[in-house]
Amino acid sequence: MNANRPIFPDVEAIDRPAASPILAALIEASPLAIVAFDPEGVVTMWNPAAERIFGWSGNEALGSRLPFVPAEKQEEFLALRRRALLGEAFTEPELHRRRADGAPIVVSVSTSPLRRPDGTIYGILSILTDVTERKSTGDEESARQLARKVREVLESAWPSPGYP
């Protein structure tokens, strides 16, 4: 393997329809919650890890506002959503959210705007890691690094609307 060759090809070189099954498999198999939502905060993608971590099924989450943001954290969520809609990709190491059963959860989230080929933002992608227990073990940095790597892979090959 050539150490100077990138693991992933240049974004422009990706055959997006061919990449779709690979991306679908990555999203389905990810141990991290991968959630996409539109500019209004309505969930458009909810992977199996999101279901496992937060407790809402895909059917319950899809088409609704993000269910894991409690009422007292709405202002914080709106500020983060604004940042993404202005084009910023960022990582927040500790956000307090809630599970379907009402239990509190602490997550690390990496967020990136989803763009059409013309650059307009049509949604937001977030990758979330449950750090509730890891906080005490000091393993947060490795969780953030993993979330950042997954986000980079998805950003480099995310199909535009209209692709399968």
pLDDT at 151 over 60: yes
Put the strands of the sheet holding 43-46 in their side by side order: 43-46, 33-37, 121-130, 104-115, 90-98
Q: What is the pLDDT of residue 138?
A: 53
Q: Stretch 157-163: mean pLDDT, rounded? A: 52
Long-range contacts of 11-20 (CB under 8 A, 24+ apart): 11/156, 11/157, 14/156, 14/157, 16/157, 16/159, 16/160, 16/163, 17/159, 17/163, 17/164, 19/157, 19/159, 20/159, 20/163, 20/164
Mean pLDDT of all residues belonging to the chain: 82
Answer yes or no: is 161 within a domain: no
DSSP character for 70? Answer: -
Instruction: Report the number of distinct structural domains present in the chain.
Output: 1
Q: How confident is the model at residue 160 (pLDDT cuts 50, 70, 90)?
A: low
What residues pair up with 104 in beta bridges, in sequence order? 98
CATH of the domain at 101: 3.30.450.20
Alpha helices in the chain (DSSP H): 16-29, 48-54, 58-61, 74-85, 134-137, 140-157
> Tens digit of pLDDT for each residue in 30-68?
999 999 999 999 999 999 999 999 999 999 999 999 999
Answer yes or no: is 37 within a domain: yes
Answer yes or no: is 10 within a domain: no
Q: How confident is the model at residue 141 (pLDDT cuts 50, 70, 90)?
A: low
Answer yes or no: is 9 within a domain: no
Q: What is the pLDDT of residue 21?
A: 84
Answer yes or no: is 8 within a domain: no
Neighbour count for residue 73 (Cβ, 10 Å): 15
Residue 91's domain comprises: 18-23+30-156
- pTM exceeds cut of 0.85: no
pLDDT at 156 over 80: no
Of all residues in the chain, the percent with pLDDT exceeding 90 is: 62
Q: What is the pLDDT of residue 22?
A: 84
Answer yes or no: is 11 within a domain: no
